[in-house]
Amino acid sequence: MSIDSGQLREERPFDPYGAHRDDPYSFLAGTGETEPMFYAPLLDAWCVTRREDMVAVLRDDRNFSARDHNPRPAVALPDDVSHMLRTWRGADALAVGSLDPPEHTRIREVLNVGFTPARVRAFEPTIRSIATELVERVAVMEEFDFITDFAVPYSLEVIGRRLGIPDEYLDRCRTWSEQRIELMMVRGQADVEGLREYARGLMEFGAFARSLVQERLASPQDDLISELLHEGKAGRTLTADEASVMIPTLIFAGHMTCAEALGTILFQQFQTPGGWAEVADGTISTRDLVEEGLRFDSPLAGMYRTAVNDVVVGGVRLAAGSRLLLLYGAAGRDSQASACPAAFSPGSGSASHLAFGHGIHFCLGAGFARAELEIAIQALAGRMPGLTAAPGPLPRHRPVFPLRALTELRVRQE
């Protein structure tokens, strides 16, 4: 039995940018069992809170499109800004996360080659070297912001080195990524000139990616961009335009979510009775800590999908064109995900999650990300066994939902 969405239209004041910014989970608690679908006016989307419904949607690429999977600005943008936002990658260009089959299938097959287990293992010594160097840099500080001083530069340098981004461009890549977030997250009264500055930054980002591709076409290096252009599986490679479109996404996703996850993992472990000492002495394995961190508070709290046909989700009939927000974070708090879904408890049992998505859009860099997170934690635990949160108020989250990013995390050694 299903209910028509027009008749139901159950609205809930879900506000992950304001009232529920720091803790959306208390608001969502139990909804998977009692209210697996509700409409959030602020997001103009149907929120899917039950894990099995999310999995069903993610497996069904015939009825659901990923084309509009990013958050939308909540206010109308100036025409010139809107135009730049649509065209900074190139005319009508979409990254792989926004593609549906068959285009998605072909691009994904080439990209997968760069993140095979063998490729990840071969790159691990480089990741360890980056982690070790950064840990030595912060270890001499009496107190520091873990996000700004370690998590962000670490994750940015790792993905930059894998792609082949010159070091002198890494800070600009971070700025361009932040400008993209600002444009996607515009809410309320906006500074028009500020928006134009962000949009011009994105145009620079696209131009940078295209120039880098041209350099690698002419002179291949030992990096992922060169692999995508010259070493595709069974002779399949990306065109220059396709590679140019993907570079900003790989930079953005490759460093943002890793930095966010590291911050969350450390923050949550600091709050447990055993604290960081249980990581340093091996009581808690790095693998268990990473998986529990991804389950408990996923760095990507959700992803949007659009129904391309009339469909039924969670017992609700939705018309074609309906927008859905799959709340991956809520799935991690499902009773099937953990023995104690509302408690952060590494190694206590199952740590099932959807932090990397599911189906054809499952994160192609999941193995890479897991290695990156584990190596960072191992390096920190080995050199800084007395790490703990510095005194002060609890850190807050940035208003960048569905990303889950702490504004800062002050830490010190005891």
**Domain assignment present for 198:** yes
**Domain assignment present for 58:** no
**Domain assignment present for 29:** no
How far apart are alpha carbons 237 and 243 in whole angstroms?
9
**Domain assignment present for 13:** no
Q: What are phi and psi of 182, to 5 degrees?
A: -60, -40
Whether residue 1 is predicted with pLDDT greater than 50 in this model: the reply is no
**Domain assignment present for 32:** no
Q: What are phi and psi of 64, to 5 degrees?
A: -135, 135
Closest among 349, 251, 366, 250 to 298, alpha carbons compared: 366
**Domain assignment present for 14:** no
Better-scored residue on pLDDT, 335 or 343 = 343
Q: Which two tokens stand for residue 307?
A: 């129904």
Q: Which domain holds residue 281?
A: 78-301+348-413
10 Å CB burial of residue 248 (0-12, 13-18, 19+) is: buried
Whether residue 8 is predicted with pLDDT greater than 80 in this model: the reply is no
Contact, 344 vs 296, CB < 8 A? yes
Question: Cis ω on the peptide bond leading into residue 402 (within 30° of 0)?
Answer: yes
Q: Does pTM top 0.95 for this prediction?
A: no
How far apart are alpha carbons 371 and 260 in whole angstroms?
15
Our count of domains for the chain comes to 1
**Domain assignment present for 67:** no
CATH number of 168's domain: 1.10.630.10
pLDDT for 187-219, tens place per residue? Answer: 877 789 999 999 999 999 999 999 999 999 999
The mean-pLDDT minimum among 11-15, 232-236, 297-301, 307-311 falls in 232-236
**Domain assignment present for 141:** yes
